[in-house]
Each structure stands twice: as C-alpha cells, then as structure tokens.
Structure 1
Amino acid sequence: MLRVHFTSDDLARVRVAPGPDFLWEISNSVQTLQRRDGEREFGDWRRWVRPRLSSSPRLLSRLLPPRGYSPDFLTPTSGDRGTLQASVDVLLSTPRGRLRAELARLATPVQLPGWLGALAGGDAEALRQLGGALRTYQREALAPYWRRVHADIDADRALRLRGLLDGGTEGLLAGLGPQFRWRAPVLEAAYPVEQDLWLRGRGLVLQPSFFCWPTPITLADGDLPPVLVYPIHHSADWAGPAPAPGTRPAAGSGPLGPLLGHTRAGILRATRTGCSTVEAARLLDVTHPAVSQHINVLRAAGLVTTVRRAGRSFHVATAEGRALLAAEEYGPE
C-alpha cells in the first residue's frame, strides 16, 4: 500500500503532467516487456516488439527488473525533459554519488556486474552506452506507437480536467481509478510494498503513463520532487500492426477520404476539449448511433481517440485533430 499524505498547501499544488514522459515510458515499458501478466493490454505489443529489438533491452533490463526496486535517476523529475535527447542529457548528468548509492541499492545483496559497476563510478563509456541504449530502445519499441501513446495520455488528461472541474482537487484525486482511494488528507494506492510519501507542501505531479503496469509508481526517495505515475486505460486493439516509420497513405486513399460533412466536423470540434457520445449527440441534435459512426471515421483517420470508463465513451481530439481544427480556425495564411 502506498499512502500519499497531503497538506492544504499540497492540495493547491497538484497538477497533471502535460504529456507523456519519455523516460517513464521507457522504464515502464522495459519492465512490462519482461512480465507475463497484462496479456490483454500488452500481449500484442510484446509479440510485435520482441523480435525487432537489438541489444538495448539487455542493458536496460539490468537496471529495470520487472518487479522491485529500480533506480530513481532513470526517471528524473527536474530539468528540461521536453525531448528524448534533453531527457537523456538530464539523466546522464546525475551526480556520481547518487549513481553509486542507487546502483548499490539495486545490486543488494549481490555484487554489481562489470558494466553496472563502471556506471556507478560515472565511467564515461558506460554512460555513453546507457544513453545509446535508451535512444535505441525508444526508436525500436516505442516510436512506432508514440502517436497512440500521446493521444491516449491526452485523453486521460481531459478526463482528469473533468474531474477537477466537477469536484476540485479532491474530485480529481478521488477519480483516479479503482486502484486509488481518497480518504482526506491521504491518497491510498495499490502498491507492492508499504510506503508513505509525505508531500510537506511540495505539491504532487500526476503523471499518466501508457506502459505503467499493473500498479501506480512513485520514486523510492521521498526527498525528490514528488511524482505519482499511474496507469491509463487501454483499448484492446491498440497494438495492431504498427506502421513503418514515415509511411503515408497514397493520394486519394486512406481513411481521410470520407472525412466530410457538417455533422462530422461538429463532432470533431466538440472533441477539442473532450466529450462523451451523449454530449455530442445532445450538442448536435443527432442520434447516439450516428455519433458513434462519425467517431469511428474520425478515430480511423487518427483525429480522435476514445477512452471508456464506467460504461461511458469519452472522445478527445488527437494532436492531428487539433491541428486540423486550428487550420480551420485561422484559415490559409
């Protein structure tokens, strides 16, 4: 059980991360790749990605076992993390003393193997290998699915915004999902070990994660800036065949062809800030089945993503959908 202890100052400083965190998704997916549970959520992805990986997972799996402790320095909570390269640079600038302490904790009670021992000492070649493994793994395992990862995290953030608008910060915390229980001033979460996180006025960053599984995650060191990483909902078919990098539909083909009509455009506009099927039907004065048909076309075109919760479907425009809406709003230059 994880218990996160809030003060009134902390409740005023809760925020949801603006999007996926590269290093959390890498770390969580490396661990998920080594597990056998979560077949519905990750089975197809595991089968697709395993034969396509080079040596990068072997290095990373030493640092990220499927269960138990993994070093906090692999998922920094400060610095510029807007791109993968910036995130890796922050990680590789970890102070040497912290590298030694966290890697020693990982190795207990066994001795650090050669490469990890060199990494713990801040060896430049070991650090270079770690940076290369992170970049290679992202390219091979996650980049083909990154648009889906980003879209589903955007959809989850829209749900959290609804919770905040309807019930304030406590409503946001209470609505995080069945693995959580809000009993003011403590947020309890399913967790493999007993741990208490005292926020002490520092606030909390909620980080939705596509590959977080099966329980939420936080840092082992309670003195680091507090973050709570939590799993998001997955559609059963999310890991269908991944497109080859850079591929585009041929001219006149693909799912965008039928993307015409006032009703469908109106539904896309409604998904800019997120809407349910019921809300879209009421807004546009059309039937629920009609909304569902239009949503199917928009989703196939990559313009909308859908999450389902408590028997309701919630639709949110993807980055591509929002770009199309922006083009409509501002018109040609």
Structure 2
Amino acid sequence: MQELQIKSVSSAKDEEIQRKINLKTKPVGALGMLEKIAFKVCRVQQTTSPQLSKPTILVCAADHGITQEQVSPYPQEVTFQMVMNFLNGGAAINVFCKQNNIQLLVADTGVNYDFDTNNQLLDLKVRKGTRNFAVEPAMTIDECSLAMQNGARLMQQLHEEGTNIVGFGEMGIGNTTAATALLCKYAGYSATEATGAGTGLSPEGIAHKANVIDKALTLHEAITDPIEILATFGGYEIATICGAILKAAELNMLVISDGFIATSALIAAHAINPKVIDYCLFAHKSNEQGHKLMLEHLKAEPILHLDLRLGEGTGSAVVYPIIQSAVNFMNEMSSFDDAGVSNKE
C-alpha cells in the first residue's frame, strides 16, 4: 500500500472553536460530551461551522481459518448467512442505518462462499477466508496489502461522492480471536487478559481460545512490523477496514470507531500511522472484554456505554444522532450576545 500523507490536525482554530462553544447560552461545559464532540468535529474540519455530509457505514465480511481451532460456538457458514441477512435488510445494522438516514454498504472481503451477482454486495474478496494463524500467517503481505488498498479505494470513491463521516462494521465467525491476537501483539497484553466470550463462549471455551492465541503469539513472536502483524493475525475484513481508516484520515474525513473488531483495525492503523487517532470519534465501550483495553491503549473516551457486543457497526449507527446533535448546537444555538442574555461576570 502506498504511503499515505496523513496530516496532524491543526490547532490553529482551537481557541476560536472553544470560544464559540463557551459563548453559547449555557454554563461553560454544561453540554458535557456534546461539547467535546463538537470541538473535535470542528478541529478536523478546521471550521466553527461544521457539517456532516452523506454519513456512511461500511460493513466488511470475511471468514477466518482460526475457526479450525474450535474458538467459536458458531459454524463458519453463519458468516455468509449473515451477509445475506444484511442484503435482505434484516439485521440490526440495517434497522439503525435506516432510522438515522445512514448509507449502508456491505462488502465481501473474504467470505468462504460464492455469492450470486448482486449489485448491493461490494465484491472486495481477496481470498475465501484466511489461513489458520495457529499454524501459519493468516494472510500473505500481498493479500493484506490488497485488502488495505481495496478499503482505501472505496474511501476515495465515497469522498468524491461527498461523504465526510464514515463508520465501519464487520462480520466474520472467528474474528474476535483475530482481534484479540492483534490487541495482544500491538498493545502488549497477554491472551488471558484480552480474551473474552466473543459470540457466547463458556468459561471453558474462553480459556481454550486464550490458549490458542497464546500459542500463536509464541509461534509468531519474532514479527514486529505493523503490517506484517496485521497479515499474520488479522482478517481480510480487518485489513480492509484498516486501509479504509488510513485513507479516510488522509482525506480529512471523520471516522466513527465502533466495537472490538473494528477497533482492532484502528489499532493496526494507529500502529502504522498514529495520526489517524486525530480523526476518530469512539462510538461506545463494547461489552467484549478486550475492547476496554483497546480504548485504554488508544487513550480514547467512548461516547456511549450500552453493553453492546454485536458488531456490524451498530454502535456507530446508534451514536450518529448524538454527533449530529453536537454539530447542530454548534451551528444553531444562540450565543449570549445573539439572544440578549446576560452572561456571568
């Protein structure tokens, strides 16, 4: 993947932005998190009159060879079955995107299934699932790079169509195992600390998954390059989202980071270029054990905590109206001077 030119977000307008927020008809700080969101949106867009345009959520689906290690209670075919559910409009992400007028795109980045030609499904398939990273790298470097390039190209297209805020979701049986391994490798946590229930493992299942991850980390211990780590432990959906996040930041787009799997892609992107964090809003704190550790690693403050652990980008879709509220108060709420209201001395 070509090196991206991600700029550090300028602080040139910080004082002007904060002054406008503070002079709205309210006590300073009274809108809490909405003020922080407004500040960040304004800072990314370098304006005191921010706009959100054509919000989009991209759901990437792929299968994982690590399922050969019995790390999920669900069979692999659930991945393609859920993709069909997305296309038929029956999943939670469909409901929330429709409710909030968010464009939903669904991409096959590596599902172990031959889909019929369907204009609704984006064909970004690299391979029919990754390899089993317990015995070999999940992807080759070339495959990982291709997935990242696919995500970047799609962001370029969305940007040209007017989208300036994007969220990411995923579907892939076994991908909590991949995300956990990435968290351990990038952030230095142990498998025991980072491993959670995923799609509903028992305590014995969690212990088995942690053991599989621990052995894989030992097998690939010598790997240190960020992209090679992603190729070794990740999935095609995670690599596609990683490339998309990097490109979105380069294009000055806002990124809504979702839950555990999507944030593993962000951690990879952050390891490749730490500046991406300046463009990210964090939708929520997932109820998946490792997501709290991811947020701590990124020094991120989530907007919501709803005990979600579904994935699909659902947290990003649910939080979007809150981000819109932050933008609306910035643009439409009167200042003390406008309203003729006396400010405190």
What TM-score do the two structures reach when normalised by structure 1?
A: 0.28
Larger radius of gyration: 1
Which structure has the highest strand share of the two?
1
